Structure 1
Amino acid sequence: MALRDFTLDDADALRRAIGDSTRAVRRTETTPEGQVETLGFLARDGAQSIAALARLRRVRHQSMRVTVADLEAQGLVERSPDP
């Protein structure tokens, strides 16, 4: 079996399929996007202060404090003192 070349049309079809898949997942996701993004930062980079998370998401400290409190209430994160 011979492999054929990957064309620009193939790349465009792949891009559309990934976009469709991403949009489908977003439509079924009930967790607010800010919480998902915050969880992503924590999963990738490890423990962060609320101030650091606020800078990463480019939101006010107070907004991030509410987001983290919501995640903590859901049992998705656990707060600990910042060393």
Structure 2
Amino acid sequence: MALAYGTSDRGACHLRATIYKAELSGMADPGVVEGKAELLIDFEDHHRFLQLICSDREEIVLRFLLKGGKNDVRRLCGKDFAD
């Protein structure tokens, strides 16, 4: 979290520092530091992409993704940001 707060493009923003979600979901081990910087970069790229297409209206994108837009995002950017 400290790395996320320290490197966020919006400053120490609790809305964008979502690296903890990887730990809560089991994607990353909370007790391991290695690999977290790369994971944070992926998460920040994901958020930047969402902000680019929705002008900081993340709720619109979330609704889109929940309604089956995952495949559209995957086709558009060649990367699976939705999972």
Counting helix residues as a fraction of each chain, which structure ranks higher?
Answer: 1
> TM-score with structure 2 length normalisation?
0.31
Which of the pair has the greater relative contact order for Cα pairs under 8 Å at 6+ separation?
A: 1
- The structure whose Rg is larger is 1
